[in-house]
Amino acid sequence: MLPSFQFISAALAADASTPGSVWMPPGASTFAANVDLMFYWINYICYFFFAVVTGAMVYFVVKYRVHKGQAFRSDAPLHHLALESSWGVVPLLIVIVIFYVGFRDYMHISTPPKNAYIIKVTAQKWAWSFQYPTGATSDDLYVPVGRPVQLTMRSNDVLHSLFIPDFRVKKDVVPGRYTYLWFQSDEVTQSGQGRHLFCTEYCGTGHSNMNRKVHVLAEPEFDAWLTEQGQWLDKIPEEELFFRAGPKIYARCQQCHSLDGTKGIGPSWKGIWERTHGGEGSDGKFADGSSYSSVIGAGKKFATPEDYLRNSILVPGSELVFGFGNAMPTFKGQLNDKAIDAVIGMMQHLNEFDPKTGKYLKEAPAAPKVSMK
Amino acid sequence: MTTIHAPRPTALEVQTDNYLTHSRGFLSWALTLDHKRIGVMYMVGVLASFFVGGMFALLVRTELLTPGQTIPGVTADVYNQFFTLHGAIMVFLVIIPSIPAALGNFVLPIMLGAKDVAFPRLNLGSFYLWVFGACFTLVSLAMGGFDTGWTFYTPYSTTSPAGGVIPVLFGVFVLGFSSIFTGMNFIVTVHKLRPPGMTWFRMPLFLWAIYATAIIQVLATPVLAITLMLLVIERTINIGIFDPSMGGDPVLFQHFFWFYSHPAVYIMILPAMGIISDLISVHAHRHIFGYKFIALSSIAIAIFSFLVWGHHMFISGQSPLLNTLFSLISFSVAIPSAVKVFNWLTTLYKGNISLTTPMLYALSFLVLFTIGGLTGIHLATLNTDVHLHDTYFVVAHFHYVMMGSALIGMIGGLHHWWPKMTGKMYSEALGSTACVIIFIGFNVTFFTQFYLGSKGMPRRYYDYQPEFQVYHVISTLGSYFMASGFFLTAYCLISSLIGGRKAPANPWGGGSLEWQCDSPPPHDNFATQPSVGDCYDFRSLRWDEATQGYVIDPVLAAEAAKHPLH
């Protein structure tokens, strides 16, 4: 069926990436050429019918305009079965062709190949977490060039949707079920200049800032990045953990937790060390009426303040600070013990960090080159 | 066969008793059973809501002038409430009731030559349900507003911290009943109160459209009502229906919601299509072309409307098989839409076109609906929709259909029947200038958004990438220009109430029954049952300089009777 179009799409599939065009952003996946071709053909059909409708309208209005008092003509036709039927039949034939071509391409887009490189995606308000087969995780998406990549996605809270305009792909990320999305990009991105990755399903306060970058790397660079990514935390010595790893992990917390006392979606970290250690604010209440000092301490629910803080990261709903809702997702499986140590260490040394940006203020000793992203 | 010979007062006989002066006092309006007064009260409510919804639209557009915060104090949370309120007010309080409940209430019984709708008390009840629904929205604002988007997608809507979610859900629930009762009332009225001689295929096309709309209202709205109830139950007593953390399914909500809300799109557009059919024919002084195809296409659209809801969910995780079926069926809507557009176009052919304000709105509709309809093809096609879904392309598309078509049709109808409703003529110069301003402003605002969307700008964004800014600025400036057109329209209509010339019975040369009774109509509409001919046969009408309106010329009428149209 429709051999001519198969020929066109086969010819274009060879040329996988396209520069940005009048209506479309740059096309950087193997899908882009066909989607753009379809888009432009529909556009041409639209231009044609728009010209016919408005052209005829303007022509008739100019030609048949009358002024008040002028005698009316009455020689106009009232109906015409063949003509009116053609207005149903011709569009029907056109849209059946459009449907078929769009459907064929869509089946390709929605069927991930068996040999795809699988990356797990976890979405939550308002961050993405990408987990690679080696166990490494990242906030930006890194993919190997020239290889089909499948994203297996789930959400920790509400609906999100992962959209990469340059790849022409999009799929909702749904709590309670897994969704797949796949693509293949044959074009390496410039270092530090990834392609846009947006959230396109409304998810609240941080919806429009839930955007990241996609970096397409050549296979050797990708492997090297992956190895380094898996070990970045391990390479940091314990005593440097809080100021090297802390701020990087805090970047995922700062949407909700300020450092300067500003009330956010969650309580500010300011003074958290004091109030959990029996100092100022330790009489602060939880939603169930208990206070910090009544749950933390030997023989109480949490033997040490560190136990309480760790529990708040892994089971956030168990103790709700008064005045705040159960809004925080769990970080179980996303932050390992060393990462949690880094966060607790940062809380302990909070006065050494910039209260606005979370940057470490003291002079850090020369660091081994590591990067979270 | 086609003559119109209802008894009607001569020009000199001044009718003093009309529906506006029939009785006086607040209660004579608050407790009225007169469909005309109820229609006017609806119109006031709808236009007031339109003003409020429009202000939120301008706030949204202004905030989008720059990435990040533009208006001091408008944070992401406030912005989310703005676009939610804009959507909810425009859909539930403005567009859905605007044509059927406001204009339809006023015109439908008169078009049938009837004294009132079939159930006048139910009609008043519908109006008060609308008022209660609107009040719930205000209560919701007082309780902290809501930021769920007008679509109330779960589980965001069941977990949103905003305090006003439950009141607004109740409000929309109540508004749904208002809509259902109006629909029932109109179905019965059209079936039982048609005058002798008005067969189904002699009804004005506006009535066909209102009838098709009423069927959708009655069949689809209960699904929305029960869905919102389930949402309230989930939010208040934590029974897991839609929230997966309690064992529910969020995609189920989308199925339920769009099973109503897609037909609701046709609840909004079908009546406007009916208005346009009448406007084009009357102001072109030319028999409508292809009456039966236009009438039956309304019914076809009503039927198709129930079968295409899944095209809102192509990327929701729904199975590719379902997506394929919904894509295929969605294209079927193109056929009745194309039939209508081309029949309207042919109605201009060999017509006698007067470029009045209502006609300008009808022509605007034709252009804007064509754009809105054609861009639906991009979205019904599966592979292009994957890219365009949830971007500004969709925002532009549905504004072309909902605002450029449904609301423009409503405003056109308002100008068409304004002399009948108020007994006053407005300034044609002001009215047509405002229409041109709105048309230009609309296109600048929304055509730009097609471009933003296909370039990848997601919808419902408070902050955006700097490369999109120039297009947001153009769109916002367009919206200001369009708003000035609406303010000019308001001035034009309101000033006509004070200084407008008295309207003749038939200022445009219409053939349906409402142009046979006085402007404004008397309390009982017609003294005697009028007789019915072909309401699109305008051959017996002649412009009369003395009354500044159209009158039946006996000579032309006799001539027309000799050559029946067929």
- pLDDT in 10s for each residue of chain B, 566 residues: 444 454 454 444 445 688 888 888 889 999 999 999 999 999 999 999 999 999 999 999 999 999 989 999 999 999 999 999 999 999 999 999 999 999 999 999 999 989 999 999 999 999 999 999 999 988 998 888 899 999 999 899 988 888 889 999 999 999 999 999 999 999 999 999 998 889 999 999 999 999 999 999 999 999 999 999 999 999 888 888 998 888 889 999 999 999 999 999 999 999 999 999 999 999 999 999 999 999 999 999 999 999 999 999 999 989 999 999 999 999 999 999 999 999 999 999 999 999 999 999 999 999 999 999 999 999 999 999 999 999 999 999 999 999 999 999 999 999 999 999 999 999 999 999 999 999 999 999 999 999 999 999 999 999 999 999 999 999 999 999 999 999 999 999 999 999 899 999 999 999 999 998 888 999 988 888 887 888 898 888 888 888 889 998 888 888 888 888 76
- Chain A positions touching B82 (Cβ under 8 A) are none
The C-alpha of A357 sits at a distance from chain B's nearest C-alpha, in angstroms, of 17
Regions in chain A scoring below 70 on pLDDT: 1-18, 333, 363-373
Residue A270 has, within 13 A of its CA and on its CB side, a CA count of 11
- Chain B positions touching A156 (Cβ under 8 A) are none
Task: Say if pTM beats, i.e. exceeds, 0.80.
Answer: yes
Of B327, B341, B390, the CB nearest to A99: B327
The set of long-range contacts for A81-86, using a CB threshold of 8 Å and a minimum separation of 24, is: A83/B346, A84/B290, A84/B293, A84/B339, A84/B342, A84/B343
The alpha carbon of A305 is separated from its chain's Cα centroid by a whole number of angstroms, namely 35
Name the segment(s) of chain A with CATH classification 1.10.287.90.
Answer: 3-109
CB B65 within 8 A of CB B473: yes
The C-alpha of A232 sits at a distance from chain B's nearest C-alpha, in angstroms, of 30
- Chain A positions touching B384 (Cβ under 8 A) are 35, 38-39, 42, 102
**Whether B538 and A72 lie within 8 Å, measured CB to CB:** yes
pLDDT at B54: 96
Q: In the numeric block, which tokens belong to residue A267? A: 């309580």
B139 vs B168: CA distance, rounded Å: 8
CB B315 within 8 A of CB B327: no
pLDDT at B43: 96
3-state secondary structure of B22: coil
**Whether B335 and A31 lie within 8 Å, measured CB to CB:** no
**Whether B335 and A80 lie within 8 Å, measured CB to CB:** no
Minimal CA–CA distance to B269: which of B394, B396, B410, B175?
B410
- Chain A positions touching B389 (Cβ under 8 A) are 170, 200
- Mutation target among A41, A79, A85, A177 for the B interface, most CBs of B within 10 A: A79
The C-alpha of A121 sits at a distance from chain B's nearest C-alpha, in angstroms, of 15
The C-alpha of A353 sits at a distance from chain B's nearest C-alpha, in angstroms, of 25
**Whether B390 and A87 lie within 8 Å, measured CB to CB:** no
pLDDT, tens digit, for every residue of A81-140? 999 999 999 999 999 999 999 999 999 999 999 999 999 999 998 899 999 988 788 889
Stated length of chain A: 373
Which chain A residue has its CA at the smallest distance from B463's CA? A208
3-state secondary structure of B509: coil
Q: In 10 A of CB A357, how many CB atoms? A: 13
In B186-202, which positions are buried (b, 16+ CB within 10 angstroms) versus exposed (e)?
bbebbeebbbeebeeeb
- Mutation target among A67, A202, A214, A262 for the B interface, most CBs of B within 10 A: A202
Using DSSP bridges, classify how beta strands A117-124 and A149-155 pair: parallel, antiparallel or unpaired: parallel
The CATH number of domain A117-235, selected from 3.90.550.10, 2.30.42.10, 2.60.40.420, 3.40.1050.10: 2.60.40.420
**Whether B155 and A168 lie within 8 Å, measured CB to CB:** no
Compute and round to an integer the Cα radius of gyration of chain A: 29
- Mutation target among B287, B377, B379, B393 for the A interface, most CBs of A within 10 A: B377
- Chain A positions touching B468 (Cβ under 8 A) are none
Name the segment(s) of chain A with CATH classification 1.10.760.10.
Answer: 238-352
Minimal CA–CA distance to B421: which of B106, B41, B24, B44?
B106
3-state secondary structure of B378: helix
pLDDT at A366: 54
Q: H-helix or E-strand containing A25?
A: none
Which chain A residue has its CA at the smallest distance from B316's CA? A172
The C-alpha of A290 sits at a distance from chain B's nearest C-alpha, in angstroms, of 23
The C-alpha of B71 sits at a distance from chain A's nearest C-alpha, in angstroms, of 17
- The angle at the Cα of B523, spanning B41 to B119, to the nearest 5 degrees, equals 65
In A104-120, which positions are buried (b, 16+ CB within 10 angstroms) versus exposed (e)?
bbbeebbebeeebbebb
Strand-pairing partners, residue A179, are: A153
**Whether B345 and A88 lie within 8 Å, measured CB to CB:** no
ipTM: 0.91
**Whether B370 and A172 lie within 8 Å, measured CB to CB:** no
Name the segment(s) of chain A with CATH classification 2.60.40.420.
Answer: 117-235
CB A254 within 8 A of CB A244: no
Torsion sign across C-alpha atoms B515, B516, B520, B526: negative
Strand-pairing partners, residue A196, are: A213
**Whether A208 and B375 lie within 8 Å, measured CB to CB:** no
A284 vs A322: CA distance, rounded Å: 8
Q: In the numeric block, which tokens belong to residue A130? A: 């990408």
B320 vs B310: CA distance, rounded Å: 11
CATH number of A3-109: 1.10.287.90
Minimal CA–CA distance to A195: which of A168, A229, A159?
A168
pLDDT at B566: 66
Of B387, B465, B539, the CB nearest to A168: B387
CB B370 within 8 A of CB A53: yes
Minimal CA–CA distance to B231: which of B164, B157, B161?
B157
A17 vs B214: CA distance, rounded Å: 50
Maximum distance among all Cα pairs of chain B, rounded to whole angstroms: 77
Question: At the fourth CATH level, which superfamily is domain B31-562?
Answer: Cytochrome c oxidase-like, subunit I domain (1.20.210.10)
**Whether A91 and B290 lie within 8 Å, measured CB to CB:** no
CB B51 within 8 A of CB B494: no
B201 vs B312: CA distance, rounded Å: 35
3-state secondary structure of A138: strand
pLDDT at B24: 87
- Chain A positions touching B375 (Cβ under 8 A) are 46
pLDDT at A341: 87
CB B432 within 8 A of CB B355: yes
Q: In the numeric block, which tokens belong to residue A146? A: 């020239």
pLDDT at B410: 96
> Can you name the CATH fold of A238-352?
Cytochrome Bc1 Complex; Chain D, domain 2 (1.10.760)
Which chain A residue has its CA at the smallest distance from B79's CA? A205
